[in-house]
Amino acid sequence: QPLLSTLQTLSQDNLCWFSARPSPTSGRFCSAFSSLLAQSRRLGPSLRHLLRAAPSFDLDEATPGNGYRSLCQ
């Protein structure tokens, strides 16, 4: 899940950057990135489960015709 990994990395980087700059605006950004990081960590197991289940909904072996994979990417 490269997108989720990138989201977590960028959230952590931004959280560190804004934490070093004490201001009301930086505090709000810290809160937002902290929440985003926590939510993305909770989302990982659900995405893994969805990716395991996605092949069950394909049209046939040669046609991965469901939207679950694109939802996870």
pLDDT for position 34: 97
Q: Which residue has the higher pLDDT, 19 or 63?
A: 19
For residue 63, the cross-strand partners are: 60
Please count the structural domains in the chain: 1
Number of H helices, E strands in the chain: 3, 0
Q: How far apart are CA 62 and CA 49, in angstroms?
A: 22
pLDDT at 73 over 70: no
The parent domain of residue 31 ranges over 2-72
Q: What is the pLDDT of residues 2-44, one digit of tens each?
A: 888 999 999 999 999 999 999 999 999 999 999 999 999 999 8
pLDDT for position 17: 96
